[in-house]
Structure 1
Amino acid sequence: MANGKDLQVTTCSQDRHCARGLFCDKHFGVCLSLRQEGQYCRQDAHCTRGLNCMFGKCHQTVPDGQEGARCRQDKDCGPAACCARQHGEMVCKKRLVMDESCYVPPGGLAFSINQVCPCQEGLVCRAGAIDQE
C-alpha cells in the first residue's frame, strides 16, 4: 500500500496492453507511468507527449532542422549545421566558425560517440600553436 491506495501492477508485452498515460517497460514486462521532462527513459515512447528521449532523459522536442534536432544526414539540418553524433545520438550541430577549435580525434570511441562538424563553407581547419595555459 502507498498513501492508502493499493498499487496495481499490470503485466504487458506491448504499449497497447497498458492504460492511457502508461507505457510497457518491455525489459520488466510491466506498465509504468509515462516519464516527465528530465526523467530517465530508453525510447521516445517512454516520455509524455511533446517530449523525446535524448541522451537517456526526456527532453522538449527540438523542431526539425534546428540545432539539437534529430537527423540522419546533413540535409536534415540548416545550412550552417551538419548531422553529427552527440553522446551517440545523431543531431544537428553547428558548423565550426573562424577561430573555433577544430581538433578532430583520429577515430576510436571518442570520435564515434561525439563527432565534430566541419568548418563553415570557405573555411578550413589548419594546425595551430597548442595553448599552454
Structure 2
Amino acid sequence: MRKWILRALGAAAVLLVPWMVVLAVTLPGSTQVGNWRLAWIGLDALMAAGCATTALLGLRGDPRARLTASATASVAVLDAWFDITTAQAGGALVQALVCAVAEGALAGACVALALAKGWAARG
C-alpha cells in the first residue's frame, strides 16, 4: 500500500506540471474575489489552531504533535506566500514582507519540532 501511495504522489507531481502551464496561460492577471476577509481570517485561524494543537499535544508528550507541527508549518508558508503575492506595492508589500518573516520563523520552528527526536515535553 505504501509504495502505491508513493507512486501516486510521484505521478501527481508530474501531472501538476502541465496543469500549472494551463493555469499560467489561461488565468487572468487579476480578479475580484468574494469572501476576501473570510479567506484571510481562515488562514490565520488555521495557523492559530495548529499552534495551539501542537503546543497542547507537545506538552502532553504526544508524538502526534509532529504531525500538527508539520501542518502548521505548511499553513504558515502558504499564508506568507499569499500575503506577499497579493499585496500591492508600497506599504502593503512591506507589511506583508514583515509578516512573512514572522511566519517563516514560525514555519522553521514547527519544522524543527517535527524533525527533532524526543522534543515533546514530558510531565
Name the TM-score class by shorter chain.
under 0.3
TM-score by length of 1: 0.20
TM-score by length of 2: 0.21
Compare CA radii of gyration and give the structure with the larger one: 1
Q: Which has the higher strand share?
A: 1
Query: Relative contact order: is structure 1 or structure 2 higher (C-alpha 8 Å, sep ≥ 6)?
Result: 2
